[in-house]
Structure 1
Amino acid sequence: MISLPKDVESQLQPHPDETHALLEAGSSNVGQLLSDAPPTFSTYEATYFEVGNGDICSHDPHLNSDGEALYRFLLEQSNRRPFTRANLRGTHTETRTRWVSHTDSNGRTRQKSETYTETVTDFDFCVDIFPPSELEHVQWSVPDTEPTYRGKMVRELEDTPSPSLAGIRREKRKATRKENRLSRKWNAERYATGLAPWTPREALHSYQVLARVEVTPLQSSKTLRRWADEYCASPKCLKEFEYDLKITSWEMSRVEHALRAMVMAAPYDGDINITFTKHRSKIYIRPNNTLSELLSNGWIKFLAIILFIYPFIWLFKRFHSRGGGKWKVCGAAYPMKKWVPVDGTESLPIDEEGSPSGSDLPPYSPFADDTPAPPPQTTKPHPYPGAGTPSEPIVNSLSASDANEKKLLGIPEMQWLRTWNAPITRAVVTKHRSSTPLLHPDSAFVDAFFN
């Protein structure tokens, strides 16, 4: 070990005052670094309000300028499950007699009897149908070959491929009247038979094609994020992005027929009116300008209609380049029931970013534009050859061999009807009239009614 002279060693050692000054300077620098640190990250909370039937409408400026924020907002709000309200109403007509006084030209008063008919409401109540929470919802998009609103005030298709520097891209074209008429008819059939909202009509001609379509809900050539970016990039001042929340896998036509038979078996022989109302089924994103916000108010819009102001606004939306535009290209689907493998090895539905669909937010990839490739098609024949719409929905049918390998999750139609048989029958017999939905159904049911 080398030792230094004491005088040299004393010169090399720092003075105590200098050491204290250095410590104070270091602590002040650390405090300054902490004060200059960025704030803690927090999720952006967009402003919105409810409109008719529990739908959501937002004029938030951030959702109209940032496609990522709009995309995340739609995914977050899709966790709020929609429901369908079944309204049951029974009426009958009665012929009654009343005395009416008439005064003639001479001032004499005469009375005579006349008959009239009056509609009497016997019962009027409603029942809510909620999708089961154990089944995950999936994000879906409209196929390119189906007419819908894609940024203009007219329905368009995006099925015309054209070459470009980046490869083959698709161009939009206006749908014809025949295509719009067939599309509206197919939407009604799809809802009545319980098929998924992204199912094309062509899928009914093959069982295997329909099975592939069921597991590929993202049918559009564009991702949901790209549609959100396209909406935010539009300069139109009366544009609107509509996100559709649909309940699937129930044959609503058969449910309506079963409810009607249930009421008649109460017994009841009057006129029966059964309607289904969708609640929490829409999410509207609109611009943050004064005119758009005023038109979102139902009373102001009604006042503009009766004062003949709204027709001019409609002409501006329809024909001006910076007027209006609609996007109705995507949504979320909530199954009421679903067949899954017994061993539970079924993979979760995959969205366009390659992540499981549902409540979790998938990562964003700006170049993931292609829909996942479907499995190869087999030659299994269609169970309903030559039929336009099968009498039994293919989505709910299984062969005997498949039944041994799969199990049914969720709530089948007959199970729900059996559960609600006693409360609905009791409401009909007691002539229940209320706008509040029936709650807490009686678990007792009559099997003979359904067998």
Structure 2
Amino acid sequence: MSKKNHDYYYSYTSPPTSASGSQSAEPSAPSLGQTDEAMSLPSYQDALGGTSPLPSHSEFEGLTRDTTIPPYNPDLNSYASVSSPTMFNTASKRHCFLGRPPPPGYSIYGAKFLTKKEGVISRDTHLNTDGEALVQFLQQHNTAPRLKINFHGYHEETHYRTRNTRDEDGNWREEREPVTKQVDDFQFSIDCSDEVSPQCHGIYVMPDPKTGAIKTVRELCDEYVHTNSQLKELRLTKVINWNYAQLTRAFTAAIRSHGYRHSVAITYELENYRIYVKSNSTISQMVDHKAIRVLFFITCLWILAWPILLLFRHQFGHRTLKSEWTMRCTEQQWYDQHLREVLSQISPVASFGNVPFII
């Protein structure tokens, strides 16, 4: 089973089983004459086959939780949807200062931002000059990410196409060449966003790799605003702690026991999982502009430009600033709740491997 792992995306692909090339393979799925009630669904433990549980990969290894600020403040979030920069007087509002009242005249800054599939991006000038406003912005938008699980089953079919060509003597000759294409057997998604806990369990920061000093989120934000660079950017990544590998192994085994023998890909896709703050400089906006990126790619200027940009770009928090989220249910509970829904969309197919066709 191959696996790809990233901060925001998990993908597992199981290749075809050995039975897929044999016509005599007997799937364990019930016959068409059996009723739904007679259908035996494998339990979570049965699907895992009694093997030892797979360890859940921790995205927070080496990071330290910042206990000096709350990961999310509902008082701040009420200002997270403003369309233009504004200042809000919070003298009459409750604010979390570790039990202390806010300073006199304390205000919350509502920054301009752009919402995309992966999260929010802001180039607000004030966020690039005020560390406190930057911390507020991270708290405002540190809301629960959305999770979707994609199920994809497919196989390959090879056919031969013929074409006529002339040989060196000018005579016509017929040639056959194989063409292999992917055929989708099933492809669907299940939205798990409602099952993501709305409560963040903390914001984590990576200690300084050279000195080992532990920074707070505020110190990281202050370091960002004091950096004099037109290509600086800060990123917070939201991570859902779940044992994706074990859940995937259980569903893959259940799909196999249902009679499906071809390739199975199960991917976990996040939305609203990042918060970006970037410089408002012209060069920073040009670097992110799609048209300019395409132009650089077509003209091959990226070969010269990209190394220079990587050299002068200052990235904060890209691998060192994360917030922790969990699911309302365990992997086994989610499996039990959705197994019938998954298998009902998968038809056991007779597997004959790659059958050649002549066109």
TM-score by length of 2: 0.60
* Match among 413, 426, 438 for residue 344 of structure 2: 426
Larger-Rg structure: 1
The question of whether the paired residues in 1 share the 8 Å contact of 2:150 and 2:266 is answered with: yes
- Partner residue in 2 for 1:139: 202
1:358-377 alignment runs, 5 A limit:
none
> Once superposed, what is the RMSD of the aligned Cα atoms?
2.8
Confirm or deny: 8 A CA contact 1:87 1:127 kept in the other structure. yes
Unpaired runs of 5+ residues, structure 2, are 1-86, 90-106, 350-359
Higher helix share: 1
**1:325 deviation in Å?**
0.9
- In the other structure, the counterpart of 2:46 is none
Within a 5 Å distance, the mapping from 1:93-242 to structure 2 comes to: 93-104=156-167, 108-111=171-174, 115-130=178-193, 132=195, 136-144=199-207, 156-159=209-212, 170=213, 221-242=214-235
> 1:131: how far off?
6.4
Residue 276 of structure 2 is aligned to residue 289 of structure 1: no
| Change beyond 3 A, Cα 1:290–1:96 | same
Distance 2:307 2:186 in 1: 44
Report the CA distance between 1:43 and its aligned residue.
Answer: 4.6
Query: Is the Cα–Cα contact under 8 Å of residues 128 and 225 in structure 2 kept in the other structure?
Result: yes
Query: Structure 1 CA distance, aligned partners of 2:300 and 2:284?
Result: 17
- Rounded to whole Å, the distance in 1 between the matches of 2:263 and 2:200 is 37
Task: Note closer, same or farther for the CA distance 1:302–1:134 as it changes in structure 2 (3 Å cut).
Answer: same
Distance 1:306 1:111 in 2: 38
Please say if residues 119 and 275 of structure 2, whose CA atoms lie closer than 8 Å, have aligned partners that are also in contact. yes
2:112 counterpart residue number = 47
- State the Cα distance separating 1:311 from its structure 2 match: 4.4
Any unmatched runs of 5+ in structure 1? 1-38, 146-155, 160-169, 171-220, 337-409, 432-451
Say if 2:118 and 2:270, in contact at 8 Å, map to a contact too: no
Amino acid across the alignment from 1:233: H
Distance in 2 (alpha carbons) for counterparts of 1:110 and 1:40: 80
Which of 314, 326, 331 is the matching residue for 2:315?
326
The aligned amino acid for 1:427 is: Q
Partner in structure 1 of residue 260 of structure 2 = 268
Of the candidates 413, 416, 421, which is equivalent to residue 334 of structure 2?
416
Letter aligned with residue 184 of structure 2: T
**Structure 2 CA distance for aligned equivalents of residues 222 and 312 of structure 1:** 35
Shift of residue 87, structure 1, vs aligned partner = 2.3
TM superposition shift of 1:427: 1.9
Distance 1:113 1:424 in 2: 41
Alignment equivalent of 2:294, drawn from 299, 302, 307: 302
Deviations 1:311-364 (A, max 9, x none): 444444444xxx32111132321111xxxxxxxxxxxxxxxxxxxxxxxxxxxx
**Residue 9 of structure 1 aligns with which residue?**
none
Deviation track 1:106-154 (CA, whole Å, cap 9, x = no partner) reads 6554445555433222122222333646552033223426xxxxxxxxx
**Cα shift at 1:89:** 1.6
